[in-house]
Structures are given as C-alpha cells and as structure tokens.
Homo-oligomer: A and B are copies of this chain.
Amino acid sequence: MTECKQQHNPEECTKMIVPVRDALEILNGKWKLPIILSLTFGAKRFKQISKDINGITDRMLSKELKDLEVNQLVKRTVHDTFPPTVEYAITEHGKSLEKMITELRNWGLEHRKQIMGNN
C-alpha cells in the first residue's frame, strides 16, 4: 500500500487494484461459493452438484462451472462410459482458494461483531 501515492499518481493505484479485482471476480455472483464448497468434499457429477445447491438452474450451474474451469479452479473430466458421465473436481490451484475464503470469512465474522456492538 505504502508504495502507492494516490495523491500524485492515481494510475499507479488503479494497477494496485487490478489483482484484488481479479480475486473478487472469482468469487463473484450468487453461485460460485456454493459450487466451490460443494466440490471441496470431493469430485462430483453435474446432477449431484445441482442437488447440493438449492435453487440453482442447470443454465447457471453450467455457466459457472465453465467459468471456474477457464480459471483452472475446477477440472472437468468426461468418463468414457455409457451413458457418458462427467465429473467435476477442484484443482490444486482451486484449493488455494480455501485460505482466502477463510480470511474473508474471519473478517466477515469480526465485521458482524463490530456492527452488532455499536448501535
């Protein structure tokens, strides 16, 4: 933070924000977190994930899984059975999310305390 002197160079600061944005975008939207959580308990098939997450439509599940796959957080594997089955699993890179999510969660819990306390 200290190396970013916004008062003199706002452009520098914009650059500092970009990776933060990247991280936030990964978890953005209504369904990313539930999907990641569902998969932390092991690889699952499309329908299984769908059943785990209350209210998600096939459309959104498909879209979000694709997004996570593009970001190499989830691996999609097609098994050569009949009928074909597809399995989704968290990648090693995806597991690195856990620490960040824990940090967010801890801050969120502290924030609740703060808000509840002062009113």
Contact = CB atoms under 8 A, between A and B. Distances in A.
Interface of A: 1, 4-7, 10, 13-14, 16-24, 26-28, 33-34, 37-38, 40-41, 52-54, 71-72, 93, 96-112, 114-115, 118
Given A6-B38, A37-B6, A1 B98 contact: yes
**SS class of chain A's interface: helix, strand, loop or mixed?**
helix
**Copies of this protein chain in the complex:** 2
Contacts of A21: 33, 108
A114 B100 contact: no
Contacts of A106: 19
A20 B101 contact: yes
A20 B110 contact: no
